[in-house]
Amino acid sequence: MVGKLRAGLIGCGFFARNHLHAWRELADEVDLVAVCDTDAGRAEAARQAFDVPTAYTDAAEMFSRERLDFVDIVTTMPSHRALVLLAAAHKVPAIVQKPFAPTWEDCVAMVEACRDAGIPLMVHENFRFQAPMLEVGEVLRSGALGPLTWARLSWRTGYDVYAGQPYLAQEKQLVILDVGIHVLDLARVFLGEVTRIACETQSIRPGLAGEDMATMLLRHEAGAVSVVEATYASRRQPDTFPETLLEIEGRDGALALDHGLKLRVTTGGSTTERYVGTPLRAWTSEPWHVAQESVLNTQRHWVECLRAGREPATSGRDNLKTYALVVAAYEAAASGRAVAPKVWAG
Ligand SMILES: NC(=O)c1ccc[n+]([C@@H]2O[C@H](COP(=O)([O-])OP(=O)(O)OC[C@H]3O[C@@H](n4cnc5c(N)ncnc54)[C@H](O)[C@@H]3O)[C@@H](O)[C@H]2O)c1
């Protein structure tokens, strides 16, 4: 693909603002030609705020009227399958927000439809693209820690996520599917694929349909063991929202990503510590600027891959492996036994 790419965005709700700002930063590469939301007021507000030529309330109409090089789907998961299949029918490459879909079958249907249509599909799995995680990845790739043995990956907060995303309180599968999925993805990226997972869930806050605390134990193919924690019900202080904290150990060293975006690396008996946050952008703000900026990094990766004809790091196919960990974690919690993740046969 050469020249500026023509994009449409579907879903102009809470999180789409970050996507819209990021597309504006990528304006040398991408023309956002249309936005769409079934809520006409939201679609029009996004159109006006971000100078987008056209707003739609019907995605099918947007696809038939616009010539799009790709579509950015920022709706919640129940609509993902229908919208991705619509994109596939129009042979328009699609990037879709996490969680990929409510069920494994939906995820597979989207991957297969895009494969059959010959179009790229990427899941907006942005935690991998947070600046501190990119730095951790570099340390691990350098081999400085030696073969990895153990890790703890931890998302613990009491921040009121229900204020901005009230639909979360109704989710029967809550914290693993909403944020644990990001942390499980990081566990895969840093320690490799997983052979089995055990999980305990708890419901702490009254009035929720699902679990708001999960503690998972993973065995990785290469031998490492990791503990993955996700909760919206932590009372600890300081509250570390929205940071994912890490401890990773290897035979030759260790690293820790601590509160305050501090990365401590121990190798050869000596320890260094550095700040791995990034400066604020015009549209980002504390405390979530690193998470907001990762949206930009994710979208840039998508555009680079589209241009190069390369499979994105978080393609639909790749994300099935992360989603399989979520499915296995819920099965493990229900059965009280460790569960091997599903493998897509395609
Ligand atoms: N990656 C992250 O860090 C991160 C953070 C927050 C939210 N999210 C994800 O972003 C997605 C959106 O979340 P949100 O909080 O912005 O939700 P939201 O409910 O605020 O916004 C979704 C919007 O999509 C619209 N919509 C739904 N179905 C549609 C359809 N078929 N056609 C057109 N518009 C449709 C709704 O009217 C709504 O305005 C979710 O999947 C959520 O998990 C990701």
- At residue 346, the pLDDT reads 87
Which of 12, 15, 165 gets mutated to test ligand 1 (max ligand atoms within 8 A of its CB)?
Answer: 15
- At residue 216, the pLDDT reads 99
Nearest to residue 329, comparing CAs of 127, 188, 159? 188
| Burial readout 57-82 (b: 16 or more C-beta within 10 A, e: otherwise) | eebeebbeebebbbbbbbbbbebbbe
11 Cα–ligand 1 center, Å: 6
- Which single residue is written with the structure tokens 């007021």? 41
Domain locations in the chain? 5-119, 128-283+321-335
DSSP state of 338: -
Cβ proximity of 52 and 34 under 8 Å: yes
- At residue 163, the pLDDT reads 96
Please count the CA atoms within 13 angstroms of the CA of 304 that sit on its side-chain side. 8
pLDDT tens for 278-324 read: 999 999 999 999 999 999 999 999 999 999 999 999 999 999 999 99
If you average pLDDT over every residue of the chain, what do you get?
A: 98
1 pLDDT tier (thresholds 50, 70, 90): confident
Residues sharing a CB contact under 8 Å with residue 285, sequence separation 6 or more, in sequence order: 292
Q: Is 48 a residue whose pLDDT tops 80?
A: yes
CATH code for residues 5-119: 3.40.50.720
Taking CA atoms only, the protein residue closest to ligand 1 atom 27 is: 75
2 pLDDT tier (thresholds 50, 70, 90): confident
Q: Kindly tell me the sign of the dihedral angle through the C-alpha atoms of 314, 317, 319, 321.
A: negative
Instruction: Assign residue 261 a region (left: φ > 0; alpha: ψ between -120 and 50; beta: otherwise).
Output: left
Taking CA atoms only, the protein residue closest to ligand 1 atom 21 is: 13
Which of 76, 107, 128, 232 gets mutated to test ligand 1 (max ligand atoms within 8 A of its CB)?
Answer: 76
Q: Is 113 a residue whose pLDDT tops 80?
A: yes
Nearest to residue 230, comparing CAs of 294, 174, 169, 170? 174
Nearest to residue 218, comparing CAs of 252, 244, 243, 183? 183
Interval 184-195 mean pLDDT: 98
The span from the CA of 80 to the CA of 325, in Å, is 19
Q: Please give the share of the chain, as a percent, with pLDDT higher than 90.
A: 98
Interval 50-79 mean pLDDT: 98
**CA distances (Å), 16 to each of 130, 166, 295, in order?**
18, 16, 10
Residue 70 tokens read as 């790709």
Question: What is the secondary structure of 67-120 as a DSSP string?
Answer: --SEEEE-S-GGGHHHHHHHHHHTT--EEEESS--SSHHHHHHHHHHHHHHT--
The span from the CA of 345 to the CA of 120, in Å, is 19
CATH class of 128-283+321-335: alpha beta
- At residue 77, the pLDDT reads 97
pLDDT tens for 139-173 read: 999 999 999 999 999 999 999 999 999 999 999 99
pLDDT tens for 214-270 read: 999 999 999 999 999 999 999 999 999 999 999 999 999 999 999 999 999 999 999
217 Cα–ligand 1 center, Å: 30
H or E element: which one contains 325?
helix 316-335
The span from the CA of 126 to the CA of 185, in Å, is 10
DSSP state of 315: B
**Residues lining ligand 1, judged by CB closer than 6 Å?**
10-16, 36-39, 42, 59, 74-77, 79, 83, 97-99, 124, 126, 165, 167, 291
Q: Please give the share of the chain, as a percent, with pLDDT higher than 70.
A: 100
The arrangement of strands across the sheet holding 5-10 comes to 54-56, 30-36, 5-10, 70-73, 94-97, 121-124
- At residue 283, the pLDDT reads 97
Taking CA atoms only, the protein residue closest to ligand 1 atom 18 is: 13
Atom of ligand 1 nearest to the CA of 13: 21
Nearest to residue 290, comparing CAs of 49, 12, 74, 18? 18
- At residue 108, the pLDDT reads 98
Please return the burial class of 44, using the count of CB atoms within 10 Å of its CB with bins 0-12, 13-18 and 19+: middle
Q: Is 95 a residue whose pLDDT tops 90?
A: yes
The span from the CA of 299 to the CA of 203, in Å, is 34
